[in-house]
Chains A and B, each alone.
Chain A
Amino acid sequence: GAVVSQHPSRVICKSGTSVKIECRSLDFQATTMFWYRQFPKKSLMLMATSNEGSKATYEQGVEKDKFLINHASLTLSTLTVTSAHPEDSSFYICSARAGNTGELFFGEGSRLTVL
């Protein structure tokens, strides 16, 4: 079946540094990718919608300059958490919508810990 890969699966960084998380669709082309964040024992909150070749659409309350999203190809979207702070520690999950079928597939998530 279709696979969405996220890398890294876990990352620990110091406060003030930037961290990049990759989301790849391994065997299909994804015209749209979504980025979610999930705090412990909470639901997935949509952060932004990323369309290949265009600017991401951010949800209300999500800082564009804080969470940089790039969807440079049909198989890769990246989320960069800039100047990370401890409150940015969370589980970040991406999903990718297959361009031909419209099906949605989720990655396994990336756990960010900011010290």
Chain B
Amino acid sequence: GESVGLHLPTLSVQEGDNSIINCAYSNSASDYFIWYKQESGKGPQFIIDIRSNMDKRQGQRVTVLLNKTVKHLSLQIAATQPGDSAVYFCAENWKGGSEKLVFGKGTKLTVNP
């Protein structure tokens, strides 16, 4: 079954606001986490990743935070734009018998102009 979940299925924000999307994971052996953006009818698009030996990583307008103590991951999007509207998934690199990427349930972000 899924080991990665999200707290909020939908998130609606105003253009220009900051967005925070949360994710919980349960596999303490996972060593790598990725956030993906998926637009309707398309494949996942890589946003940002973080390894388990880091707490924070910043990209352009995006920041990922990792709290291994509570097994929590978050994606922060600064100055959210209408083009950011999509479904966002966190994924963890599951290290068990074989290495594979397991996806969370997804959060639909809607940015209102």
Contacts and interface: CB of A to CB of B under 8 A. Distances in A.
Interface string A1-38: 00010100000000000000000000000000010100
Contacts, number: 42
Give chain B's interface residue range (CB within 8 Å of chain A).
Answer: 10 to 19
Contacts of B86: none
Contacts of B102: 46
A34 B101 contact: yes
B44 A44 contact: yes
A93 B89 CA distance: 14
17 contacts: A43-B2, A43-B103, A43-B105, A44-B44, A44-B103, A45-B103, A46-B103, A49-B98, A49-B100, A93-B44, A95-B101, A104-B34, A106-B45, A106-B46, A109-B41, A109-B42, A111-B41
Interface of B: 2, 34, 36, 41-46, 89, 98, 100-106
